[in-house]
């Protein structure tokens, strides 16, 4: 297969390096287009108000000063003559579970590929050990192989690895995290205030069948994400509500 690989941690991250190697060892042709520095939590942002720069740094390896979604656009619009067989994003350093997918640049890039009807997978590792990350990259390549014979063009697969060894694989739904906004306030040398948005110490829902629950119990979580965010269950209620005042 021809695979387009990107991430939001930047081209120097171990996650994208390990994954590129594992995919190439499976015999796949891998094109890397990645940000030149970390671009975490940018979701599906595109750079529209300044020009982008892109540089080739190796065989089938490009970096850009844009977002992960910019990387997808540049690959499809400039580098490739035809769409790749698969878009892979990751491996992200840190989990992307539940509501994290709203913010994640890793998942955002994979979702953009789905908009172009290209099968896509986003990989994240909920650990800090490089040996574990390397093992996750090898397992990710196995999952790519499994998908290759059954390409899914209308969903994005969000895949999270806990630290190995794993108890198995679970097909899951998105969990929920309750965030409390955390703002860290400091003063610069001139006495002017500045603000850092903190992590917020989210409280995760313990609900069964979720990605959060699966990873917490040592399972690899695979969640199919649909880009249609319509709440169909509320449509009839809203029709009735607004019919009364139309």
Domains in the chain: how many in total?
A: 1
Coil, strand, or helix at residue 3? strand
In a domain, 118, yes or no: yes
Per-residue model confidence as pLDDT tens digits over 168-194: 999 999 998 877 778 999 999 999 999
In a domain, 156, yes or no: yes
Supply the range of the domain harboring residue 154: 2-175+206-243
pLDDT exceeds cutoff 80 at 229: yes
151: number of Cβ within 10 Å: 13
pLDDT exceeds cutoff 80 at 120: yes
In a domain, 71, yes or no: yes
Find the CATH number of the domain harbouring 42. 3.40.1210.10
Q: Across residues 217-229, what is the average pLDDT?
A: 94
pLDDT attached to residue 178: 78
pLDDT exceeds cutoff 80 at 200: no
pLDDT exceeds cutoff 90 at 32: yes
pLDDT attached to residue 95: 95
In a domain, 200, yes or no: no
In a domain, 52, yes or no: yes
Q: How far apart are CA 161 and CA 92, in angstroms?
A: 10
Q: How far apart are CA 151 and CA 129, in angstroms?
A: 31
In a domain, 186, yes or no: no
- pLDDT interval class at 149 (50, 70, 90): confident
In a domain, 195, yes or no: no
Containing 215, the helix (H) or strand (E) segment is helix 211-216
pLDDT attached to residue 246: 64
pLDDT attached to residue 80: 94
Q: How far apart are CA 109 and CA 193, in angstroms?
A: 34
The mean-pLDDT minimum among 7-16, 68-77, 150-159 falls in 150-159
Q: What's the chain's average pLDDT?
A: 94
Q: How far apart are CA 125 and CA 123, in angstroms?
A: 7
In a domain, 196, yes or no: no
- pLDDT interval class at 150 (50, 70, 90): confident
Q: Across residues 119-128, what is the average pLDDT?
A: 96
pLDDT attached to residue 55: 98
Q: Directed axis angle between helix 14-25 and helix 130-148, to 10°?
A: 40
């Amino acid at each position: 297969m021809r695979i387009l690989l990107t991430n939001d941690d930047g081209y120097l991250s171990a996650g994208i390096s390990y994954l590129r190697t594992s995919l190439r060892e499976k015999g796949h042709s891998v094109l890397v287009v990645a940000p030149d520095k970390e671009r975490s939590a940018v979701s599906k942002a595109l750079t529209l108000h300044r020009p982008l720069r892109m540089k080739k740094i190796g065989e089938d390896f490009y970096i850009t000063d844009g977002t992960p979604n910019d990387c997808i656009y540049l690959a499809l619009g400039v580098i490739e003559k035809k769409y790749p067989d698969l878009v892979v994003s990751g491996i992200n350093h840190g989990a992307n579970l539940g509501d994290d997918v709203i913010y994640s640049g890793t998942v955002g890039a994979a979702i953009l590929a789905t908009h172009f009807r290209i099968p896509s997978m986003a990989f994240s590792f909920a650990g800090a050990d490089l040996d574990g990350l390397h093992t996750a990259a090898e397992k990710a390549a196995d999952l790519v192989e499994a998908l290759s014979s059954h390409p899914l063009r209308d969903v994005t697969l969000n895949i999270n690895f806990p630290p190995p060894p794993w108890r198995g694989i679970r097909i899951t739904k998105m969990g929920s995290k309750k965030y409390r906004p955390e703002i860290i306030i400091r003063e610069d040398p001139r006495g002017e205030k500045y603000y850092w948005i903190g992590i917020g110490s989210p409280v995760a829902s313990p609900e069964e069948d979720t990605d959060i629950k699966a990873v917490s119990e040592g399972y690899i979580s695979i969640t199919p994400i649909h880009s249609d965010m319509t709440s169909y269950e509320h449509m009839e209620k809203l029709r009735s509500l607004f019919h009364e005042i139309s």
